[in-house]
Amino acid sequence: MGEEAIVTLDDIRQAQQRLRGVAARTPLVANEEDGRRLWFKPESFQPIGSFKLRGAYNKIASLSEGERRSGVITYSSGNHAQGVAYSARALGVKAVVVMPRKAPVNKIEATKALGAEIVPVGPTSGERQAKAEELAAEHGYVIIPPFNDEKIIAGQGTIGLEIVEDLPDVELVLVPVGGGGLISGVATAVKLLRPQAKIIGVEPELAADAQASLRAGKIVSWPGEQVGRTLADGLRTQSVGEINFEHIRRHVDDIITVSEDEIREAMRRLALGARLVAEPSGAVTSAAFLFHACEFPRTEKTVAIISGGSVEPQLLASVLDGGWLEATVNGD
């Protein structure tokens, strides 16, 4: 991976300027669990309910006038789809989104409501990407990747800037990992501003390809039918992106995994204790703090990023009841 692919602090600060008045500057919400202090960074407060708005808007806003006139296309199970649709509408750009037919219904409907054209495909991330590339070649659309892109990474990195601005002596940041866009940006921003801080990625045991990649020192891909089993639909990517992996190798200290039961319990505690609604993908960091504290340094100032809150009502009801709802959707 060449040096040109590495996002800089200046890239992230430029993204922050572009996002002013578009993305919410989410607060740090102080909380206490088992006598330990924890700050949540609730990206569920964004207009689309997730952090994906940051990267999508930064990417589309960076396009030339000619590229914008061509329209944009992306492939996503939901949150990035909404980020692209929202950003394209705000910038007056046509948006096409390739989504799995079994994506969460609330995410499909929200993407449609934002004016995007939906193209349904099968369940795997490979199918989504292939269809998007086919349509881009046919119609001249500009592809807006979900994570493997420097402008996307820089947009997500604005979360890291905000964390350090609001908690300058932060010691540990827990970040969900799917394709790697979020952790790439956050880790870059935090490490360049505060090198002594630790960055720990968190992903489901059922979709632990990023952990496997970090351990192996090369990108490891997992089968779609395997990662599709996790309730965390936003973390069902089969592998991290190449650009993302280079950032992860440079700036991420470790990646740990959490179980499906731990994710559900974290969602329940966030809703009932912290009064924060988190989708399964957003609750993995809280699950790590609750159940895997022995796997990372004991710190006084820890931030857990809640990446999104777009959870289907029936799933939320099941989690709050302590029950189990079999996941039938497929996602990023």
Active site residues: 52, 307
Complete DSSP assignment for 65-125: HHHHHH-EEEE-SSHHHHHHHHHHHHHT--EEEEEETTS-HHHHHHHHHTTPEEEEE-SSH
φ, ψ (nearest 5 deg) of residue 31: -150, 165
Amino acid letter, 168: P
Vertex 187: Cα angle to 125 and 15 (nearest 5): 80
For residue 298, the 8-state DSSP code is -
180, 147 contact by CB (below 8 A)? yes
59, 76 contact by CB (below 8 A)? no
Strands, sheet with 29-33, edge to edge from the N-terminal-most edge strand:
29-33, 36-42, 302-306, 172-176, 198-204, 254-258
Tokens standing for 11?
């890239």
Vertex 317: Cα angle to 315 and 320 (nearest 5): 110
3-class secondary structure, 163: helix
Longest dimension (CA), the chain: 57
3-class secondary structure, 309: coil
In 3D space, the residue among 72, 69, 40 whose CA is nearest the CA of residue 55 turns out to be 72
Buried/exposed 141-164: b ≥16 CB within 10 Å, e otherwise: bbbbbbbbbbbbbbbbbbbbbbbb
